[in-house]
Chain A
Amino acid sequence: AQSVTQLDSHVSVSEGTPVLLRCNYSSSYSPSLFWYVQHPNKGLQLLLKYTSAATLVKGINGFEAEFKKSETSFHLTKPSAHMSDAAEYFCVVRGYSSASKIIFGSGTRLSIRP
């Protein structure tokens, strides 16, 4: 079975400062991990994914995440926040089986202060 925990329900940063959104996972097998972003009244857009290749994954809009197996973490970072980054971010885990459920974290709302 797999699960995912997003440690912060809300993160607020100033524009131009770094962003860190935390995610820890639990999975019986080698997981695939994803970060999705949801802007207000919009669908879910894939930011980046980890599927057992490089542990440091680069995504769109300057985001990246590092898979750390020893810490069971997959934190999302960005060096410099932009106002347009304000959104809800979901960490998602998918186990390696033919009919795995894809499990969403509870989400982290990112606010950007001018």
Chain B
Amino acid sequence: EPEVTQTPSHQVTQMGQEVILRCVPISNHLYFYWYRQILGQKVEFLVSFYNNEISEKSEIFDDQFSVERPDGSNFTLKIRSTKLEDSAMYFCASSGPSGGAHTGELFFGEGSRLTVL
């Protein structure tokens, strides 16, 4: 069964360092997402991506964050200068094999746990 894969599963970094989280969405999906879950809190939407551009982003997704689909298979989330409050589990998701189907479910990866010291 196709699945979304994320790397690394866990990353520890120093405050102020750049971090890149990688995701390989399901191959025929067209919509891509990043969510995060701070420990003990709800899952929060960060950004959605379609047709090589951001389609929607939340207030959390400020100038420190960026996303990219560099090679047609990977979907990355970059945090330019990490802060303590960026410590969270980051989930990548993908959906929709066709551009017209917007009611489909999201398929999530197992997450990348980011710890900022």
If A42-B110, A99-B56 touch, whether A49 touches B42 (CB-CB below 8 Å) is no
Instruction: Give the distance in Å from the alpha carbon of A48 to the alpha carbon of B106 in the complex.
Output: 11
Number of A-B contacts (CB under 8 A): 58
Q: Are B42 and A96 in contact (CB under 8 A)?
A: no
* Contact indicator A34/B108 (Cβ below 8 Å): no
What band does the interface of chain A fall in when counting residues whose beta carbon is under 8 Å from B? Answer: 20 to 34
Query: Nearest-CB distance from B35 to chain A (Å)?
Result: 8
| Binary contact track B38-65/A, C-beta < 8 Å → 1, others 0 | 0000111100101000011010000000
A96 contacts across to B, CB distance below 8 A: 102-103
A48 to B35, CA, bound (A): 20
Does B105 make an interface contact (CB < 8 A)? yes
A92–B105 Cα distance when bound, in Å, is 10
Q: Which residues of A contact B50 (CB under 8 A)?
A: 99
Is A43 in contact with B108, judged by CB distance below 8 angstroms? Answer: yes
Binary per-residue interface labels of chain A (40-67) against chain B in the complex, 1 for a CB within 8 Å, 0 otherwise: 0011111001011000000000000000
Known: A51-B103, A96-B103. A104 touches B44 (CB 8 A): yes
**Residue with the greatest number of chain B CB neighbours at <10 A, chosen from A42, A96, A98, A106:** A98
Residues from chain B with a CB closer than 8 A to the CB of A102 are 33, 45, 106
A99 touches B44 (CB 8 A): no
Instruction: Verify if B109 is at the interface (C-beta below 8 Å from A).
Output: yes
From A32, A45, A90, A99, give the contact of B43 (CB < 8 A).
A90
Contacting pair A44 B103 (CB below 8 A) = no
Which chain A residues lie closer than 8 Å to B102 at the CB level? 94, 96-98, 100
Q: Which residues of B contact A98 (CB under 8 A)?
A: 55, 102
Contact A49 B105 (CB under 8 A): yes
Chain B residues, Cβ within 8 Å of A32: 103-105
Whether B111 sits at the interface, judged by CB under 8 Å, is: yes
| Chain B residues whose C-beta falls within 8 Å of the C-beta of A90 in the assembled complex | 42-43
